[in-house]
Structure 1
Amino acid sequence: MPVRRKSLFIKEIITTDAFGQPCDPVTRVAAMVVFTNPLAGRFETDLSELFEIGATLGSELAEQAVAQLGNAPVSYGKAAIVGIGGDMEHGGAVIHPKLGAPMRAAAGGGEAVISSNVKTGGPGTSIDLPLGHKDNPWSFDHFDTMTLTVPDAPLPGEIVMCLAYADRGRPLPRCGSGPVRT
Structure 2
Amino acid sequence: MQESRREDSIGLRKLVLYRETVVTEAGEQPADPALQATVAAVITNPWLGTGPSRDLSPEVTRIAPVLAQLLSDRLIAVLGGVDAVEAFGKAAIVGNSGEIEHGGALIHTPYFGNLMREFLEGESIICFADTRSEAGAALVVPLWHKTHAATRSHYQTVTARVSDAPRPDEIVIIAAGSTGPRPHPRIGDRTTDPAVTVKNLESALP
Same fold per superposition (TM over 0.5): yes
Q: Which runs of 4+ in 1 moved over 3 A?
A: none
* Alignment partner, residue 186 of structure 2: 174
Q: Distance in 2 between matches of 1:54 and 1:99?
A: 5
SS at match of 1:76: strand
Of 161, 166, 191, the match for 1:149: 161
Q: Which residue in 2 is equivalent to 1:43?
A: 51
Cα displacement (A) at 1:85:
0.7
Distance 2:144 2:56 in 1: 27
Matched-pair contact (CA < 8 Å) for 1:2–1:35: yes
Q: Unpaired runs of 5+ in structure 1?
A: none
1:53 and 2:60 matched: no
Shift of 1:111: 1.5
Q: What do residues 105-153 of structure 1 show as CA deviations (whole Å, max 9, x unaligned)? A: 322x212100001100001111111101011111111111111111111
- TM-score (norm. length: structure 2): 0.81
Deviation at 1:52, TM superposition (A): 3.2
- Counterpart of 2:136 in structure 1 is 124
Does 2:98 match 1:89?
A: no
The residue type equivalent to 2:188 in the other structure is G
Amino acid of the structure 2 residue aligned with 1:37: N
Percent pairwise identity: 37
2:51 match: secondary structure: coil
Instruction: Summarize deviations over 1:24-67 as a string: whole Å, max 9, x none.
Output: 21111211010100102322431111353222112121011111
Paired residue for 2:198? none
Larger radius of gyration: 2
The count of corresponding residues between Structure 1 and Structure 2 is 178
Distance 1:155 1:142 in 2: 33
Per the TM alignment, residue 93 of structure 1 is displaced from its structure 2 partner at its CA by: 0.6
- Asked whether the 8 Å contact 1:2–1:37 carries over to 2, the reply is no
In the alignment, which residue of structure 2 is the partner of 1:64? 74
Identify which of 15, 18, 38 aligns with 1:30: 38
1:11 aligns with 2:23: no
- SS of 1:105's partner is helix
Matched residues in 2 for 1:75 and 1:52: separation? 27
Deviation at 1:102, TM superposition (A): 2.6
CA distance in 1, matches of 2:184, 2:61: 37
Q: 1:40 and 1:176 mapped to 2: Cα distance?
A: 46
Bigger strand fraction: 1
Task: State whether structure 2 residue 118 is matched by structure 1 residue 105.
Answer: yes
Gapped runs of 5+ residues in structure 2? 1-8, 193-206
Q: Match of 1:22, as an amino acid?
A: Q
Matched, 1:20 2:30: no
CA distance in 1, matches of 2:141, 2:20: 14
